[in-house]
Amino acid sequence: MTKRSRTRVASKISTLDKETRSKIDDMLLDTSITYEEISSWLLEEYGEEISKSSVGRYAIRTNKASLRLIEVQQQTNQLVKAIKANPNEDYTGAATHLLMGGLIEKISNAQEEFGDMPLDKAGRLVVSVARAESYKRKIQHDMKKKAELAFEEMEDELLKLIKSDASLVREFNAVFEKAKEKVISIE
């Protein structure tokens, strides 16, 4: 199997120096400046003949990248807030969800984005995330089984100690069942 070469958009604007691209980015943020005006500015200031269509395509690419960064930052901020509000919770599911969302987006944008990642690698990552989620569910199931077993053993021991008083046994059973439901229902 031949290795696919990395494809990247080669626009005239991407060949300009960082300072010039920064000025173009600033001009794109000002909605009163048209692509045609940016094109004319580039010709006058730098002698670069870049069409308004090229400026528009550059704007779309940078806007998509910015929107993706903003979206990921918002999701991360929400996760951080949730962790701060509930430090004792397990957030591996949320982190897994974020990772899987990113991978699914990568796959859905395959034509545009797979220049950076081979399809087989993206597939391996999806399988790894699914495996991690499955492992997490197994661990939770095992912990629940161990908690149930521990409660059964504790119940037997305590009932042996208080079996002479029937009313105490009934009260104990009621309290014990409430505690057992709360501990075992936590996921």
Domain regions of the chain by residue span: 11-69
- In the chain, the largest separation of any two C-alpha atoms, in whole Å, equals 99
State how far the Cα of 86 lies from the Cα of 105, in Å rounded to an integer.
Answer: 29
pLDDT reading at 165 higher than 80: no
What is the value of pTM for the model shown? 0.39
Question: What's the mean per-residue pLDDT of the chain?
Answer: 77
* Backbone dihedral region for residue 42 (phi beyond 0: left; psi -120 to 50: alpha; all else: beta): alpha
Nearest CA among 77, 80, 97, 102 for reference residue 89: 80
* pLDDT reported for residue 41: 92
* pLDDT reported for residue 130: 82
CA 160 to chain centre: 51
Determine which of 100-109, 125-134, 163-172 has the lowest per-residue pLDDT on average: 100-109
CA 103 to chain centre: 9
State how far the Cα of 79 lies from the Cα of 94, in Å rounded to an integer.
Answer: 7
